[in-house]
Structure 1
Amino acid sequence: MIVEETYLKGCFIITPKIFEDDRGYFFESFNEKLFEKEIGQRVTFVQDNQSKSSKGVLRGLHYQTGQFAQAKLVRVIKGSVLDVCVDLRRDSETFGKHYSIVLDDKSQQQLFIPKGFAHGFVVLEDDTLFSYKCDAYYNKASEAGIIFNDNHLNIDWALPEEDLIISEKDKVLPTFKKSLNYHEY
């Protein structure tokens, strides 16, 4: 596997070595020993989640606060997404900056997002299967978020806003600045 750190410290792109032949392909999607060696820290994943979505579905930007903050290892099993993470670590040089990458079932790349980040994605193909590992259990009382079209973040979601399918819950998330006033990480 090839591991490259993004410009957001602690956030890594992981590209597996894919073995293909006339039968199909094989790759190792996760190896704890290699993963921890490459990112330089111990991470114990305790929960796996998966979603299926239609083109245009936007999920995010979500995060959990306090002791329930989550590091995530995200990937696409089928289809493609534009995956976005936002650095919420107040002491970080890249605080308030975001990183985006297209994840798909061809490259099989994954993105490791450390604790202290908001995360979201928009689906680029129908019937996309998105999977992610978390190092802390979901806790409803600790969930928080930032509105997808926040002016400060200025994220290009790759699709016109009128084509986005967003949950009622995500439509009323606070702005980046308001969210920061409510929560500590």
Structure 2
Amino acid sequence: MSIEGAYEITPVVLGDPRGNFAELYKEDVFAAEIGHPLRIAQINTSTSARDVVRGVHWADVPPGQAKYVTCQQGALVDFVIDLRVGSPTFGRWESVLLDTVEKKAVYVSEGLGHGFRSLTDDTVIHYLCSAPYNPQREYVIHPLDPQLNIDWGVTDPVLSARDRNAPSLANVRADGRLPDYKACLEYRSSLRN
């Protein structure tokens, strides 16, 4: 993707009259492209109704929490938001359609914000996470913040209380809670060793 540290992965889907098959993650291929293997410390799944928006979430770096995101049922639009102060793409976001047809995945490296919008009822999303959830190191920005100007594709999204009451990008930045771009690059470089 055009945001450094964000990747769209498109597997080869093989099909026959029985159904289909795809390799969603291969450690050697991933490591060759990203520069290090993905340490899987936690696997999360969530089920969402149509027009649910979850995000914008990220964790302190180091260690951060990289995510390898796939859709197991239904369809969603996955969003990566560059929240790294000093990044040439700070404040920019990109989106990828994840569904059960193309079976794409998105890799969100440490320091990047993440969110998604469910396009169908009972959409199931899986996250392979590089670090366990730690509520003292996890942060959120209001997904409808006008400064981010994310086009979620829905005018009245369903939000959790946490997301609905989240601070703005400006407030989080003023509080010094956004990740530093150089620190994120240094941490990711340490994973190569």
Q: What TM-score, normalized by structure 2, do the two folds share?
A: 0.88
- Write the distance in 2 (CA, Å) between the matches of 1:166 and 1:68: 27
Q: Does 1:181 align with 2:174?
A: yes
Structure 2 partner of 1:172: 165
Query: Which residue in 2 is equivalent to 1:30?
Result: 25
C-alpha displacement of 1:107: 0.7
1:71 matches 2:63: no
Q: 2:127 matched to which residue of 1?
A: 132
Asked whether the equivalents of residues 68 and 137 of structure 1 are also in contact (C-alpha less than 8 Å), the reply is no
Whether contact under 8 Å (2:83, 2:178) holds in the other structure is no
Q: Which has the higher strand share?
A: 1
1:184 deviates by: 4.3
The SS at the match of 2:142 is coil
Matching of residues 96-175 of structure 1 within 5 Å? 96-161=91-156, 164-175=157-168
Secondary structure at the counterpart of residue 177 of structure 1: helix
Q: Please report how far the alpha carbon of residue 36 of structure 1 lies from its aligned counterpart in structure 2 after TM superposition.
A: 0.8
Which whole-Å CA distance do the structure 2 matches of 1:7 and 1:67 have between them?
23
Deviations 1:83-103 (A, max 9, x none): 111111212110111111111
Task: For residue 93 of structure 1, give the secondary structure of its aligned residue in structure 2.
Answer: coil
1:10 aligns with 2:5: yes
Separation in structure 2 between the aligned mates of residue 184 and residue 118 of structure 1, nearest angstrom: 10
- Please tell me the residue identity of whatever aligns with 1:181: A
CA distance in 1, matches of 2:109, 2:171: 22
What residue ranges of structure 1 are gaps of 5+ in the alignment? 1-5
Q: Which amino acid aligns with 1:172?
A: N
Deviation at 1:68, TM superposition (A): 4.2
Instruction: Report the alpha carbon displacement of residue 156 of structure 1 after superposing the two structures with TM.
Output: 0.6
- CA–CA distance in 2 between the matches of 1:34 and 1:42? 9
Separation in 2, partners of 1:68, 1:140: 13
- Kept in 1: contact 2:85–2:178 (CA 8 A): no
Deviations 1:38-72 (A, max 9, x none): 22233312111000111011111111114341111
Write the letter of the residue equivalent to 1:77: Q
Runs of 4+ in 1 over 3 A off after TM superposition: none
Determine helix, strand or coil for the equivalent of 2:94: strand
In structure 2, runs of 5+ residues without a counterpart are 180-193
Amino acid of the structure 2 residue aligned with 1:126: D
